[in-house]
């Protein structure tokens, strides 16, 4: 890491995600069904950024070579304008009956001793227009997780949260 790096705990680098379907790269015999709407993995190399520390409520800025703090100060001082946001429900990937059947199948696998932990979920689809940060802000209000993310990969945006860091903090 360059000596002039200004940061606390996190200083950029390769950031992204691996989907559950990425298991196919590590264990092809599983033949996990790949979802056609989501990449199996996506990463970006970040050399500067802003991090919100939810434990201290501090905003932290890190950079390697290009210090853009002056630009950030200009943006902070700009008068904000209300941005529009609209989300329209398109549909669920499964019916209620299909989901209930999956839950029963998993219960049988647990009873048989073949699994001990499983997430039985499904995807809901929405058409979203406007400022995606509004979704992130609502999630941040509702979710106690200190590990949240809003990543942009060109036109794609990934928003989420995970409790893993919260578990680590209690240990």
List, for residues 68-96, the tens digit of each pLDDT value.
999 989 988 888 777 788 889 999 989 99
pLDDT at 103: 93
User: How far apart, in whole angstroms, are the C-alpha atoms of residue 22 and residue 33?
Assistant: 10
Which residue ranges make up each domain of the chain?
1-78, 86-125, 131-171
C-alpha pair distances (Å), 166 with each of 17, 103, 119, 138, 171: 18, 27, 19, 19, 9
pLDDT at 51: 78
pLDDT at 62: 83
pLDDT at 11: 62
Q: CB within 8 A of 143, min separation 6: which ones? A: 161
- In the predicted model, residues of the chain with pLDDT beneath 50 are 1-2, 6-7, 165-171
């Amino acid at each position: 890491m360059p000596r002039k790096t200004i940061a606390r705990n996190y200083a950029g680098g390769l950031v992204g995600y691996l989907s559950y379907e990425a298991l196919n790269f590590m264990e092809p015999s599983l033949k996990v069904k790949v979802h056609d709407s989501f990449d199996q993995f996506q990463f970006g190399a970040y050399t500067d950024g802003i991090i919100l520390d939810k434990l201290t409520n501090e905003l932290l800025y890190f950079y390697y070579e290009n210090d853009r703090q002056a630009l950030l100060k200009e943006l902070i001082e700009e008068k904000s304008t209300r941005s529009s946001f609209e989300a329209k429900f398109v549909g669920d990937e499964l019916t209620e009956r299909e989901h209930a059947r999956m839950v029963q199948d998993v219960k049988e696998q647990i009873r048989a001793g073949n699994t001990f932990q499983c997430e039985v979920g499904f995807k809901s689809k929405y058409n979203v227009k406007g400022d995606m940060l509004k979704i992130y802000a609502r999630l941040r209000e509702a979710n106690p997780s200190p590990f949240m993310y809003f990543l942009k990969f060109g036109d794609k945006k990934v928003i989420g949260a995970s409790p893993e860091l919260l578990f680590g903090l209690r240990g």
